[in-house]
Amino acid sequence: MQASPALVSSDDLYLFNTGQLFRAYRTFGAHPFENEGQSGIRFVLWAPHAREVTVIGDFNGWNGEHRQVVMTQIGTTGIWAGFAPGLSVGIRYKYEILGADGTRQLKSDPFGFQSELRPNTASIVTSLDEYDWHDREWIEQRKQHPPYEKPMLIYEVHLASWRMDAPEHFRDYEQLAHELVDYVCSMGYTHIEVLPLTEHPLDRSWGYQATGYFAATSRYGPAKGLQILVDRCHQRGIGVLLDWVCGHFCKDDHGLRLFDGAPLYENSDYRRAEKPLWGTLAFDFGKPQVLSFLLSNALFWLDVYHIDGLRVDAVASMIDMNFDKPDSMRVVNRFGGTEDIEALHFLRKLNETVFHYYPDSLMMAEDSSSYPAVTSPTYLGGLGFNYKWNMGWMNDMLRYMETDPSQRSSHHSLITFSLHYAFSENYVLPLSHDEVVHGKRSMLNKMPGNYNEKFSNLRLFYGYWMTHPGKKLLFMGGEFGQFDEWKDYAGLDWSLLQYPLHDSMRRYVGDLNRMYLDNGALWERDHEQGGFEWIDVNNSSQCMLSFQRNGKTSENPIVTVCNFSRDTHSIYRIGVPQPGNYRQIMNSDKSDYGGSGTEMPSFVSAQEIPLHGKPFSIEVPVPALSIQLWQSEIS
């Protein structure tokens, strides 16, 4: 075993310890290495409080006294390095650390690229630079077309439970590269968003409590399989987003907690470190080395796996130091406020770093707070994300849709209030996994009424969601009306597709998706006030709404009519902006979708009868609990 400062450059030492080593994964961890003519593995670790660090593994029978790899601290940098000649890719290993408190513990490698399948916890030396990518065309076209003026339909997926043959019998990455990608393409989605894939010890944490930030979870096979999955997505024109958890980590002994016998990745003040709501620990964003670790991890997924962007989890819990904490744990910042100044600095630095290297990437904040300018540039004082989940819209709409139609007239503002702020940020409208677990019921089962009315309400809801300004995200199972809430330990209830209304719901969602993709008026101006105009916003007594969506030109606007009541209107007049014919491009009440099949004209002609502030108007039948879209034929 050899160790010397030459194993790590002085530049890397400096940059890591000042929070500026943005690709620290190339230096830290276990890597094949040539040293003085010998091939072996170089180990590099940050453990400033450790008294001694050795590497043990299957190469020495997990015996720290036999052929152990003793690492040496490089000066007073807190960084340990060692070179073991003769070792190669594939070995399993852990760090044995004599900590500041005098105890010895075995730790997985914080920079390890692969882990054993749980419940085993060793790291595995892995090379990730050998995969031959075939997605150059996707990467190039992504650079040419910014996302703001493009359609975005995100299918949110938990890989374990999308399809499962038996408990804990998961599809592997390569199987999913065919089955999942084919399905997503057939449904018309533009992106897949995957729940966290960082290695985690407990299946039922869904990946939100991680131990291996640089290791794609081994539940679905070797790391190369994930590269194959992403590559095939790109070859089929599908972007891939990763749910990324940088706000907290789990407390398992082999992970980051008290890594070298003292608080290291976490804050030494337990009030700052503890996340009592989740039983986890917050990262200490005040340490520059933690910044190097996290910023490198963000770039790692984009560099090594060609991920198209990150959905940053639990932003509200990061920026508020007292988020869901009891009074006994409350703290204030140096100005007397409760904002976490260090976390805010980290988020800005995160987005600046990612967009410096990948200006065409997607950085989405899952933020339930009212913190301003989340999607504004950092040079204007914003956090620098390019998208934010619109949690307010989601909560208001679900509350409204869960209300019985007979009571909706007194809650009309719930479906209209979002347009007061819809253009203050760049929004994604999420119907995510969080809304269909823990007793919240599935999307279908949230809907009031009898069996048929539940489906009518859900089709109406999805139609309004699709026509409201903002990009779209739907959790798996919602597209065919999963009746039970999501069960993370079992596969989706695909057998429901043998029943006509569930099969019709999937057909409706697929057609709705394709209609959305085909009509730029529904997405070209998502983030501009001029992309949306109310026609009639005030008809609360009949639970009716009508509005128009406008594309880049004033031609061919789309007029949308929503009926949130049980009343059918054989003739209903609404104002329209232009003369000529209007063609129906979507009707949720079609019999093909499980609706009543009320006879509807394919075209209606505008009459020069002013209404709703518009110079023309049309008359259309409006079935109960339905949405229909009409597009001007003027060209």
Cβ(30)–Cβ(93) below 8 Å? yes
Q: How far is CA 374 from the centre of its chain?
A: 16
Cα-based distances in Å from 449 to 50, 362, 406, 540, 625? 63, 39, 10, 20, 11
DSSP structural state of residue 194: E
Which residue in the block uniquely carries the two structure tokens 């949110």?
A: 156
Count CA within 13 A, CB hemisphere, residue 10. Answer: 1
Q: Where are the beta strands (DSSP E) in 518-587?
A: 532-536, 544-549, 558-563, 569-576, 581-587
Active-site option among 199, 243, 284, 366: 366
Active-site option among 313, 367, 396, 536: 313
Q: How far is CA 211 from the centre of its chain?
A: 19
Tokens read off for 347: 């988020």
Q: How far is CA 267 from the centre of its chain?
A: 26
Tokens read off for 388: 């934010």
Residues belonging to the chain: 635
Helices (runs of H) and strands (runs of E) counted in the chain: 14, 32
Q: How far is CA 369 from the centre of its chain?
A: 17
What single letter denotes the amino acid at residue 529?
A: Q
Label residue 62 left, alpha or beta by phi (over 0 means left) and psi (-120 to 50 means alpha): left
Q: Helix, strand or coil for residue 536?
A: strand
* Cα–Cα distance, 82 to 34 (Å, whole number): 12
DSSP strand pairing (427-431 vs 92-98)? unpaired
> Is 592 a known active-site residue?
no
* Cα–Cα distance, 67 to 63 (Å, whole number): 8
Instruction: Classify residue 116 by burial, with Cβ atoms within 10 Å: 0-12, 13-18, 19+.
Output: middle
> Is 101 a known active-site residue?
no
Which residue in the block uniquely carries the two structure tokens 């990518």?
A: 133
DSSP secondary structure of 73-121: E-TTSSEEEEEEET--TT-EEEEEEE-TTS-EEEE--TT-S-BPSTT--
Question: CA end-to-end span of the chain, whole Å?
Answer: 76
Cβ(367)–Cβ(375) below 8 Å? no
Which positions are catalytic?
313, 366
